[in-house]
Structure 1
Amino acid sequence: MSGLERSLVFLALALLAEVAGTVGGFGSSVFFVPIANLFFAFEAVLGITALFHLASNLSKLGMFRGGIDRGLVLRIGVPSILFAVGGAYATAHVPTRGLEVALAVFLIGFSGWMLMHPEWSARPTASNAVLGGAVSGGMAGLVGTGGAIRGLTLAAFALPKEVFVATSAGIDLGIDLSRSIVYYRNGYMRGLELAWIPALVMVAVVGTWLGRGLLRHVPQQRFRQLALAMVAGIGMLTLYSAIRG
């Protein structure tokens, strides 16, 4: 595969990740991180994901404006940001292979549990909101994605689809801003990876727009099951890649 073909495949997969992340309600990073891991070193994946996700969440806030639940943003967002910073700093001291395996196990375990227990949800309490924010933020900082846990936390509050997406994006925006600073200080954002950002910004905007259109016309539950199946498949691929080195 030539360099151009490889680049086009990566951008096409990134677009699918953004569409699936918007429709599934998890955010694009749960799909984008394993995909980017096939093309870049894991440290670079963390940096480029944070920047891509900034564009993604700004697009969602623009297209779903007015739907954000500010109370949940504070209860989930504050612990998310604090633990995302801690997780981002921890990446400098944890072996890369261990991070990849942890990500794969998390994706497979989460998606498998939710597929087997589609009606299960956490209780909509303030303590669960804070706990969900802390765990999702820590995962986001450490392995690049915590949207699945945040989605599970938000699902407990039975939010309308548009409010769900906007609130998740508002929380994620704070996480991405904070961990981007730490990743930059850790040296994860190099010139080669930054060159991808203009194209990925366009992918984020177009993918969010396409996802919003699908979200309006297709039952959320059906797409959520598809998204979970995709998460499981990507997790298995990531685990296979990590084991082979």
Structure 2
Amino acid sequence: MLTDPFFYAVAIPAVILVGLAKGGFAGIGVVATPLMALAVGPVKAAAILLPLLIVQDVVGVWAYRKTWDKGLLILMTPPAAFGIFLGWALAALVSSAAVELAVGLVSILFAAQRLWAERAVKAAAAIETGPARPWLGVLCGMASGFTSQIAHAGGPPFQIYVLPRRLPRDVFVGTSAIFFAVVNWMKLPAYIALGQFTHEVLATVAVLLPVAIASTWAGVLLVRKVPAEGFYKVIYVLLILVGTKLAWDGFFGLT
């Protein structure tokens, strides 16, 4: 088990943020790996987080088990599996910093455009009733799996396709919970094959597990206190913040 106090000083807030994200505040959990990497490096940070994510997924899926969109999951999950495979196969060729920068910039532009469009009722209505464009869902699903495997940043590509659907709040959260629960299980074999789950890592996971579970339930309770009409605006703002963080890390990673 890790005993460094600085590690827990950054790991506990990181796990809480992931829990809130799993509970419904989609996107903010992307800062968890960079936070923990300040203490243990990105590979070990990701290895510690993955079992916690899987447990948090169980809580999120259970909380929203009756509210999810079957069509979106059927459309986006198989391409996500292919994206995970591509991420694993191209890990030596694709810089995580480059992926973070690209995802961050696209996320900022997308969320800013949506916030601007929704200032006008007609524009918002046109967006809500626009074509589904399943080909875009396939691309976003694949991009989500790819970025999740490369840079643990699968949320923004998923949201870029799903947010414009204007699903009811709980359906959006439930669909996201199930999608990423499947994605995280698909990533598990690669971590096992790489020998990342050492005794030290698993013992540390056990210490952080109560925080992970409690913070996810807190997210479930808090997100339901956000007025439904303001929920998507909150998510768009969070997406801009997450995109800015990704672009910042990616830019300085490249330079």
Task: Specify the TM-score bucket, using the shorter chain as the normaliser.
Answer: 0.7 to 0.9
Q: 1:46 to 1:117 in 2, by over 3 A?
A: same
Asked if structure 2 preserves the Cα contact closer than 8 Å seen for 1:128 and 1:153, the reply is yes
Superposition CA RMSD, Å? 2.8
Q: 1:4 to 1:106 in 2, by over 3 A?
A: same
Deviation at 1:237, TM superposition (A): 5.7
- 1:27 and 1:53 mapped to 2: Cα distance? 13
Q: 1:125 to 1:165 in 2, by over 3 A?
A: same
Q: 1:238 to 1:17 in 2, by over 3 A?
A: farther
Residue 235 in structure 1 maps to residue 236 in structure 2 = no
Q: Displaced runs of 4+ in structure 1, greater than 6 A? A: none
Deviation at 1:229, TM superposition (A): 4.5
State the partner residue of 2:68. Answer: 68
Residue 147 in structure 1 maps to residue 165 in structure 2 = no
Query: Tell me, what secondary structure is at the counterpart of 1:83?
Result: helix
- 1:19 and 1:71 mapped to 2: Cα distance? 25
Deviation at 1:222, TM superposition (A): 4.2
Deviation at 1:6, TM superposition (A): 3.5
Deviation at 1:18, TM superposition (A): 2.5
- 1:89 and 1:43 mapped to 2: Cα distance? 17
User: How do residues 209-220 of structure 1 correspond to structure 2 at under 5 angstroms?
Assistant: 209-218=217-226, 219-220=230-231
Query: Tell me, what secondary structure is at the counterpart of 2:39?
Result: coil
Deviation at 1:176, TM superposition (A): 0.9
User: How do residues 1-245 of structure 1 correspond to structure 2 at under 5 angstroms?
Assistant: 3-20=4-21, 22-26=23-27, 28=29, 30-91=30-91, 93-94=92-93, 98-99=95-96, 101-106=97-102, 108-119=104-115, 123-218=131-226, 219-232=230-243, 234-235=245-246, 238-239=249-250, 242=253
- 2:85 and 2:194 mapped to 1: Cα distance? 12
Deviation at 1:83, TM superposition (A): 1.8
Asked if structure 2 preserves the Cα contact closer than 8 Å seen for 1:59 and 1:208, the reply is yes
Query: Given residue 214 of structure 1, which amino acid in structure 2 is its aligned partner?
Result: L
Q: When the two structures are aligned, how many residues end up with a matched partner?
A: 238
- 1:117 and 1:208 mapped to 2: Cα distance? 30
Q: 1:225 to 1:153 in 2, by over 3 A?
A: closer
Name structure 1 gaps, 5 residues minimum: none
- 1:110 and 1:180 mapped to 2: Cα distance? 27
- 1:88 and 1:200 mapped to 2: Cα distance? 27
- TM-score for both structures, normalised by structure 2: 0.80
Give a deviation string over 1:118-158, Cα, whole Å, max 9, x none.
24679523222222111111111122221111122211322
Deviation at 1:45, TM superposition (A): 3.2
Query: Tell me, what secondary structure is at the counterpart of 1:117?
Result: helix
- 2:82 and 2:247 mapped to 1: Cα distance? 30
Deviation at 1:103, TM superposition (A): 4.6
- 2:215 and 2:249 mapped to 1: Cα distance? 23
The structure whose Rg is larger is: 2
